[in-house]
Structure 1
Amino acid sequence: MDMNGTWKLVSADNVSMICDVLGIKDEFKKKAVAMMSPEGGVTQSIDVTGDNVSIVYNIPGKTIECKTKLGQPADMPFFDGRILTCEFSIDGDKLVEKQSGAFDSVNIREMKGKQLIITMTSKDVTTTRVYEKV
């Protein structure tokens, strides 16, 4: 996939609103908003090879990894310690991740030019995160 590689967050919108919808407690919300700024240093490494999917999130002070196969659910810790079940699929040139458990959301990863765009939707709130290749 064109999106394989390591990506650095360069912008994010609606972070505070999505935190509220995801039920992030106040003590973690401030950290989440700071993390999702370009200065936060958040990266994610993506490797989709055949049916194998590996996403490694590097956030300040923590690395979170989800390795699975397309269509097979896998548990993954959220940055605040809650456990999510993630399931990946391919839709055309998009990598779709459905998350359930602590909250329900859908992350759609797609390439637009040389940027990786991730839209995360939970309930009626969407946040768009833009990443550039490292």
Structure 2
Amino acid sequence: MNRITRREALGVSAGALTALGLTAAAATAAVRPPRTSPDPSAGAAGPGTGDTVNEVYLGRRIRITPGTGGGHHGGHHSPGLPTVRIDGQELHVMRNADGSWISVINHYETYADPTSLARAAVRELQGSDLVPFGGAA
């Protein structure tokens, strides 16, 4: 009697799933839109200096405008935060005490400025739409 053990079955299954995952990752990378350079009309220095950013990154439109002082997201955030939008949807951003930035997409990784934060959010979204903050659909 030649029976397969549970350990052997799990090993074969794990190997097959790994191969499937690697194949899917390679296919996703192959269909990813090419990187594009920033819009020449956008501010070169970025929103930390009060400039407006308007660029296409990995096929997604990023717009960052300086904070106005009236608050954010219905007025429950500190005034002066920039407004970061990805394809017209606002990305909730926060500034840390050390001057770094985080977003609602990833609270565990910090970024030097809102532009690099928005680009990281685009990569993290992997083509998905940004859902409005607050759960209202």
Rg: which structure is higher?
2
Question: Looking at both structures, which has the greater relative contact order when contacts are Cα pairs under 8 Å and sequence separation is at least 6?
Answer: 1
Higher helix fraction (1 or 2): 2
Please indicate the TM-score interval, normalised by the length of the shorter structure: 0.3 to 0.5
TM-score by length of 2: 0.32
TM-score (norm 1): 0.32
